[in-house]
Structures are given as structure tokens and as C-alpha cells.
Amino acid sequence: MSDSLLMRGYVFAGMIIVIWTGFILVTRLGGTGTLTPFDIGAIRFGTAVILVLPLWLRAKRPSLLTPKVIALTLTGGLGYTLLTYSAFRLAPAAHGGILLSGFQPFAMPICAWAIMGERPSPLRWAGMAVIALGAATLAYEVFQADQSTLGGDLMFVAASVCWALYTVLARRWRIAPWEVTVNVAMLAAIVYLPIYLLALPKRILEAGAGEILLQVAYQGVLAAVIQMVIYMRAVELLGTSRMGMLVALVPPLGALAAVPVLGEPLTPMLIVSLALVSAGVLVGNANPSLLQRFR
């Protein structure tokens, strides 16, 4: 791959890191809020389907009931989204930052190895080890303060696995980013919205306009459509394992951004965690030829 395409992949990955870091801050700012996880899911899928419907019609209404579309919808659409939103009701946002993004450097390479036979290189294994140390440093500080959130934490891990599976499957099947985004958004809305309207608990009528509009803009437009396209393009250019390592920057960056935005303390553990994760990302993404220089 040319250097220009690789650089473009890193630019897309940087955009994803910013979006995912913002997700942590938005969630912390909103707290538990008025909306239920089911309300937020309906806002996400409802907004997304309105945006992608013209694209689906323009593509002459391709079938949504293929095994590939169903698998991607169950993992990266419904599975990841509903598990994440439900987990945020049971565990703090800081836990979500660590477990959703911090677990990706391990979930993605493992899924890629199992499904595609992509074995991580020695440098990538070394980078994963340093990232694990950095994530553990931050996790120790965060989880020590709140140890009664096991149910939510397990949901975060399950959501992270769903996202890793979605990423690896989409790459293995070589589905274009826009095609993945449109088809998953369409099928998720068709499956979820009727169930939400008929059977799930709702508090959307009690929520203020500002709270709803924030979720429409962030979850429905940015996260469900724009982020999905950019993310899949980054995975195309960088690969699953490399992308998984890069998003490990989200937890410490989210905690660091919370210092000026939310007035949270800048602790020594946070600084150590950011330094270790950054070092792990650099090692894991280094050119394999570097190993030859030390032999």
C-alpha cells in the first residue's frame, strides 16, 4: 500500500478517535438522563434510516435479508448499540470508555486471527502487551472507586466483542463502507422500531427538546452514519488489528479531555496510562523491518 493511502487511513482513524472520545464526554455530561436505552436506540436507528433511505432507494433497493447483512446488523447494529446503551445505565461512562475501546486491541486481532487467519506480528504482540499495561493502569484507578457494576461491565465487554466481529466480518466480505452503513441502518431500523413502538418502555415524551436533539445529532447522524462510513474506510486502509490498537487511545484521551471539559482531576495514573497506551500504539504500528535492525 502506498504511503499516501496509509496516511489517509491514519487521518480517518484520527477522526474516529475524536468521535469516540466525544462519545465518552457526551455520555458523562448527560449522566443517566431522562431517556431510556430503548429511547436512544430508537432515536439512533430512526434518524439513521431517514438519512440512508434515499441511498438505499437509489441503489435500487438491494435485499436486506442476506446472511451477510443479517450478521452485520446483529453484531455492529443491534448487538453493539443496545448492549452499549443498556450498559451505560448500569455502569459509569468511565468504565465504558475503558471496556468498549480499550478491549478492541485484543478483541479485533483475536477475531481476525480466528476468522481470517491474520496472525499478529511480533511487534503487534509487543504493542498489545504495552497497551494492556496502560489500560490496566487506568482501569485500576477507575474500577477501584466503583466495584458494584459487574452487570454493566459485562455488557460493555459483550458490546466490544460484537463490534470486533462486525469489523472483521465486513472486512472479510469486502463490503464497501457506504453499502455496510446503508444496509445495516435500514435493517436495524426495520427490526427494532416496531418492537420499540409496541413493546419496549419509553420516556421520550418526558425528555426535553435539547436532550433529544443532542442524541439525534450525535447518535443518529454522527455515530450511526458518518462514523460508520469513516470507520470502515479506515479499516480498509489500515486493517483490523492496527485499527483496534489505535482506538485504544480513546479511554486515556477521554479521561484527559474530561479534565478541562468536566473539571475532573488530572491524576498521575492517567498520565502514566496515556503514555503507556501511546507507546504501545507506536510499537504495534511500527514497520516490521525495525526488528531486523536489532538482530
Task: Reply yes or no on whether the pLDDT at 109 is more than 60.
Answer: yes
Task: Reply yes or no on whether the pLDDT at 91 is more than 90.
Answer: no
Q: What is the pLDDT of residue 191?
A: 97
Tell me the average pLDDT of the chain: 87
Interatomic CA distance for residues 93 and 272, integer angstroms: 20
Highest mean pLDDT among 105-109, 140-144, 180-184, 246-250: 180-184
Q: Which residue has the cell 461512562?
A: 93
Report the Cα 260 to chain-centroid distance in Å: 23
Burial (CB count within 10 angstroms: exposed 0-12, middle 13-18, buried 19+), residue 15: middle
Q: What is the pLDDT of residues 61-74, one digit of tens each?
A: 999 999 999 999 99
Lowest mean pLDDT among 52-61, 81-90, 145-154: 145-154
Give, in order, the Cα–Cα distances in Å from 74 to each of 70, 232, 270.
6, 17, 35
For residue 145 the three cell numbers come to 472507586
User: Are 248 and 102 contacting, i.e. CB atoms less than 8 angstroms apart?
Assistant: yes
Interatomic CA distance for residues 140 and 236, integer angstroms: 34
Q: Which residue has the cell 486515556?
A: 252
Task: Reply yes or no on whether the pLDDT at 295 is more than 80.
Answer: no
Highest mean pLDDT among 68-72, 101-105, 271-275: 68-72
Report the Cα 77 to chain-centroid distance in Å: 11
Task: Reply yes or no on whether the pLDDT at 235 is more than 90.
Answer: yes
For residue 124 the three cell numbers come to 503487534
Q: What is the pLDDT of residue 70?
A: 97
Q: What is the pLDDT of residues 186-197, one digit of tens each?
A: 999 999 999 999
Q: Quickly state the pLDDT bin for 291 (edges 50, 70, 90).
A: very low
Q: Quickly state the pLDDT bin for 99 (edges 50, 70, 90).
A: confident
Q: What is the pLDDT of residue 145?
A: 64
Interatomic CA distance for residues 5 and 275, integer angstroms: 27
Q: What is the pLDDT of residue 37?
A: 85
Task: Reply yes or no on whether the pLDDT at 8 is more than 90.
Answer: yes
Q: What is the pLDDT of residue 290?
A: 47
Task: Reply yes or no on whether the pLDDT at 261 is more than 60.
Answer: yes
Q: What is the pLDDT of residue 56?
A: 96
Task: Reply yes or no on whether the pLDDT at 164 is more than 80.
Answer: yes
Q: What is the pLDDT of residue 293?
A: 47
Report the Cα 286 to chain-centroid distance in Å: 23
Q: What is the CA radius of gyration of the chain?
A: 19
Tell me, letter by letter, the H, E, C secondary structure of the chain.
Answer: CCHHHHHHHHHHHHHHHHHHHHHHHHHHHHCCCCCCHHHHHHHHHHHHHHHHHHHHHHCCCCCCCCHHHHHHHHHHHHHHHHHHHHHHHHCCHHHHHHHHHHCHHHHHHHHHHHHHCCCCCHHHHHHHHHHHHHHHHHHHHHHHHCCCCHHHHHHHHHHHHHHHHHHHHHHHCCCCHHHHHHHHHHHHHHHHHHHHHHHCCCCHHHCCHHHHHHHHHHHHHHHHHHHHHHHHHHHHHHCHHHHHHHHHHHHHHHHHHHHHHHCCCCCHHHHHHHHHHHHHHHHHCCCCCHHHHCC
Q: Quickly state the pLDDT bin for 31 (edges 50, 70, 90).
A: low
- Tell whether the torsion through CA atoms of 241, 133, 284 and 248 is positive or negative: positive
Task: Reply yes or no on whether the pLDDT at 40 is more than 60.
Answer: yes
Please state the rounded mean pLDDT for residues 28-43.
78
Q: Quickly state the pLDDT bin for 53 (edges 50, 70, 90).
A: very high
Task: Reply yes or no on whether the pLDDT at 147 is more than 50.
Answer: yes
Q: Which residue has the cell 448499540?
A: 81
Q: Full-prediction pTM beyond 0.85?
A: yes
